[in-house]
Homo-oligomer: A and B are copies of this chain.
Amino acid sequence: MNIISKFRCISCGREYNIKDMIFRCACGDLLEVIHDFSKLKRKPGEWKRLFEENMDKVAFLRYKDLILPSLPDDKVITLDEGDTPLYKANNRLGKFFGIKRLYFKHEGMNPTLSFKDRGMVAGVSWANYFGVKDVACASTGDTSAAMAAYAAYSEKIRGIVLLPKGKISVEQLSQPISFGTTTLGLETDFDGCMQIVKELTAKHPIYLLNSMNPIRIEGQKAIGIEMIHQLDWEVPDWIVVPVGNAGNISAIGKGIREMYELGIISKKPRLAGVQSSSACPLYNSYTKGWSDLEPVKAEKTVASAIQIGNPVSFRKAVRELRYFNGVVEKADEKEIMDCKAFVERNGIPLCPNSAVAAAGALKLRNKNIIKEGESVVIVLTAHSTKFSHAVINYHTDSTNKYANLPIYIKPTLSEVEKTLNLKQ
């Protein structure tokens, strides 16, 4: 495979060799990956045929020419991520949302139970291509779990995770530790860990895998590409994505934009980003006509993975949202958890962060921004089982709208019959 990709600064436009191990432009802003797809000399129909012919390959390899064409196949470290379910809403969910053609793209059905695996198959494979021995990130949650798993499976690469000591739960610790990652608890907060991991990776040949790394964004493009392929290339009218650091909506947007520019699809979906009301700087910008980012203090929210007041990928997200005639919505704690509970009682187990997107879709439909008859895909980012305490807290409080409390009764058949309203 020839190198047909490069880094470009999203701010000053300066370009860098894709094989430079850098994570930021000299000017300080983010880099993005630019591919010269024209070198592949492929017509739209040929792209689709290529994907069809590669259905037996793992998603990352199937779509690799569109995701990260400059990565050699033999450098790929995969855990069989992707090919996640695209659930068609049942009638009850369709009515609840007021959307007839409604789908859930469930990225929680990945190996480490979140969409981060999509970015890490790209990121850790790229590290493997570089031949580095170490990868590192500062993360308390899904990012460290995903990085740790891919590094572990590679058996060549050591994972290093920096965590704020005493500020994370045992559940957050369990994944990176079990995957054998070197887990450093620092006596500081998350920003302190982030600062040190940046210094560490700038000074040593350690590959940084936090979300500022543009290679991870390329991997996450697969979510949108695969979704539209699953819809048999029928582009939905809307794609709704939860937004924290804004990397995922940037990735999904970039992938679909590239498909559109290559003529693989001939229609643009509209993008909707949804934030928790507790941390909604992108929403604030949207309501002011895409004004510059004003970082906020992120308040506590059930959607803890997107409790971020200063999103790294803000500018990338705004660009994609504008390109796709997008909107931004926000949802409060009650809206998030009620919507989560209603979706789950239809058999789809989603995390609180994913529920932010679902709650936003409902609001956008109620405001008639999503119009009657339009088709909608809601992107779910992680599995509910990573957050089982949120479930219990909701369902054991009978004042919650969709609370489903256990019923405690005497152990007799007649008591059970009575409770179930059965004829005795």
A399 within 8 A of B: no
Interface presence of A177 (CB below 8 A): yes
Which of B55, B389, B395 is close to A177, meaning CB atoms less than 8 Å apart?
Answer: B395
- 19 new A-B contacts, CB < 8 A, other than A92-B155, A153-B347, A200-B417, are A79-B85, A80-B109, A113-B385, A149-B349, A152-B346, A162-B416, A170-B389, A171-B388, A177-B405, A178-B384, A180-B346, A180-B404, A183-B404, A183-B407, A184-B419, A186-B411, A192-B411, A204-B422, A385-B385
CB pair A346–B155 under 8 Å, yes or no, is: yes
Question: By the criterion of a CB under 8 Å from any partner CB, how many residues of chain A are at the interface?
Answer: 82
A83 at the interface (CB under 8 A from B): yes
The answer to whether B420 touches A160, judged by C-beta atoms less than 8 angstroms apart, is yes
A34 at the B interface (CB under 8 A): no
CB nearest neighbor in B for A166: B408
Taking the nearest CB of chain B, how far is it from the CB of A126, in angstroms? Answer: 17
Which of A134, A404, A411 gathers the greatest number of chain B CB atoms within 10 Å? A411
* Given known A178-B341, A183-B404, contact A385–B384 (CB-CB < 8 A): no
Cβ distance A9 to chain B, nearest Cβ, rounded Å: 26
Question: Is residue A193 contacting chain B, with contact meaning CB distance below 8 A?
Answer: yes
> Is there a chain B Cβ closer than 8 Å to A316's Cβ?
no
Q: What sequence of 0s and 1s flags, for each residue 102-128 of chain A, a beta carbon within 8 Å of any chain B beta carbon?
A: 000000010111000000000000000
State whether B113 touches A186 (Cβ < 8 A). no
Task: State the CA gap A181–B346 with chains docked (Å).
Answer: 10
Docked CA distance A412–B195 (Å): 10
The answer to the question of A185 belonging to the interface, with a C-beta cut-off of 8 Å to chain B, is: yes
Separation of A163 and B411 alpha carbons in the complex (Å) = 10
Q: How far is the CA of A163 from the CA of B405 in the complex (A)?
A: 13
Write 9 A-B pairs (CB below 8 A) sorted by A numbering: A113-B385, A155-B346, A170-B392, A174-B384, A184-B419, A187-B410, A192-B411, A196-B411, A200-B416
Q: Mark A339-361, 1 if CB is under 8 A from B, else 0.
A: 00100111111000000000000
A5 touches B (CB below 8 Å) = no
Within 8 A of B (CB), among A160-182: 160, 162-163, 165, 170-171, 173-175, 177-182
- Quote the shortest CB–CB distance from A424 to chain B (angstroms): 9
Query: Is residue A21 within 8 Å, beta carbon to beta carbon, of the partner chain?
Result: no
Q: A178-218 toward B: CB 8 Å interface, digit per residue (1/0)?
A: 11111111111000110010011001100000000000000
Given the interface pairs A171-B388, A391-B178, the reply to whether A153 lies near B411 with Cβ below 8 Å is: no
Complexed CA–CA distance, A175 and B417 (Å): 23
Q: For A92, what are the chain B residues with a Cβ–Cβ distance below 8 Å?
A: 155
Q: Using Cβ atoms and an 8 Å threshold, which residues of chain B touch A203?
A: 413
Nearest-CB distance from A60 to chain B (Å)?
Answer: 13
Q: Is the CB of A183 within 8 A of B347?
A: no
A22-79 contacts to B (CB < 8 Å): 55-56, 79
* Cα-based distance from A209 to B385 in the complex (angstroms): 23
Question: Assuming the A-B contacts A162-B416, A349-B149, A412-B196, are A344 and B180 also in contact, with contact meaning beta carbons closer than 8 angstroms in the complex?
Answer: yes
Q: Does A90 contact B (CB under 8 A)?
A: yes
In this assembly, does A406 line the interface, its C-beta being within 8 Å of a C-beta of chain B? yes
- Indicate whether A366 reaches chain B with its CB closer than 8 angstroms: no
Please tell me if the beta carbons of B111 and A349 are within 8 angstroms of each other in the complex.
yes
| CB of A130 within 8 Å of the partner chain | no
Indicate whether A268 reaches chain B with its CB closer than 8 angstroms.
no
Question: CA of A204 to CA of B413 in the docked complex: distance in angstroms?
Answer: 11
Contact of A406 among B153, B163, B383, B388 (CB under 8 A): B163
